[in-house]
Amino acid sequence: MATASTVLALFQGIATNKDVKANLSKMREQTIKAKEAGASIIVFPELFLTGYYLTAEEMRDVAQPNTGEAFQELSALAKETGVAILYGYPERVISEDGFKCYNSAQLIDKEGQSILNHRKVHLWIDDEGYRWEDVFTPAENFSEIVECCGFKIGVLICYDVEFPEAVRTLVLRGANLILVPTAVADQWIRPLVEHVIPARAYENRVHVAYVNNTGSRFDGKSVCCNENGETIASAGEGEEMVMATVTLSGAKSWHVRDRRPALYEK
C-alpha cells in the first residue's frame, strides 16, 4: 500500500493583542523558517492573528472576513513560499441575521487558495466566568475534509478536540490528519498533551497536531502524535517551532471498524 509523508511545522508563539500587523509579520518570519526547514504545512495557534483574551468589543473590532486583508497577505505568503498555512483568527460574518463573530481557523494551500475554514463548535467557560459565547457564535457543524500535501485533513479548535465525538466525526468523513490550533492555560495542558491527544490519535489511527499559544496565561507544550498515539514532536513552554514528519501507513482503526452505532443511539 502506498504511503504519504509530509513535514509539519508547529509554531507555538506569543501573539500581540490587537496588533494584526505585528502578528502577520511574525507569521511571515516563521513561514519562511518553516520552508527552509523543509516543511509543507505550518500551523499557528488559536486566534494567533489578533491575540486571545480580548473583550467582545475588541474582538469584533479586529475580526476580519475569511477573504479579508489578512487572508490576502497570507495567501500571497503561501504562494511565495510553497508552504500551506493554517492560522486561527476571529471571523467577521455579516448576513441577513446581522453581525456574527466566529472563532475560526483557515487553511490556505501552497497555491494560495483557501481550502478549509473551520468555525469552533464548542465554546469554553473558564473558572473565572469568562464566557466565550459572549464573544463568539458557536458553529453548528464541522468543516469538511480536504486533501492537502498527500493527506486528508480535518481541523478542530482547542476545546473541540476534547470531545471524542468531534474527532470521530472527522475520521468517519475520511480524515487521516487532524490539525488543532489551541490556547490552553498551564493548569490544563499536561493531561491534554500526555493523555487526551495521544488517546484521540490511538483510538482513531489518525495523526493529531496540537499547537498551543505560549506566554501570559498559556503554557506551550505543543505536540504531534502519530497513528499509534506516540508523541513524535513536542515543544517546551516558550516560543518555538518544532518539526514533525507524519507518515501515513494506511492502517485502519479497529475502533472505527468495530463500531456498533445502533447501540450508541439508544
Is residue 143 within 8 Å of residue 173, measured between CB atoms?
no
Distance (Å, whole) CA 261 – CA 189: 32
Catalytic residue from among 148, 149, 158, 224: 158
Distance (Å, whole) CA 134 – CA 171: 31
Is residue 136 within 8 Å of residue 105, measured between CB atoms?
no
Helix (H) / strand (E) containing 94: strand 84-95
Catalytic residue from among 26, 35, 110, 120: 120
In single-letter form, the type of residue at position 188 comes to: W
Angle between helices 197-204 and 164-172 (to 10 degrees): 30
48, 150, 193, 254 from 75: Cα distances, Å: 16, 20, 31, 39
Look up 120 and say whether it is catalytic.
yes
**CB count in 10 Å sphere of residue 19:** 15
Sign of the torsion angle spanned by Cα atoms 1, 174, 66, 185: negative
Look up 46 and say whether it is catalytic.
yes
Catalytic residue from among 35, 46, 162, 227: 46
3-state secondary structure of 48: coil
Closest CA to 45 of 86, 90, 103: 86
Render the burial of 197-206: b for 16+ CB within 10 Å, e for the rest.
Answer: bbebbbbbbb
Catalytic positions are 46, 120, 158
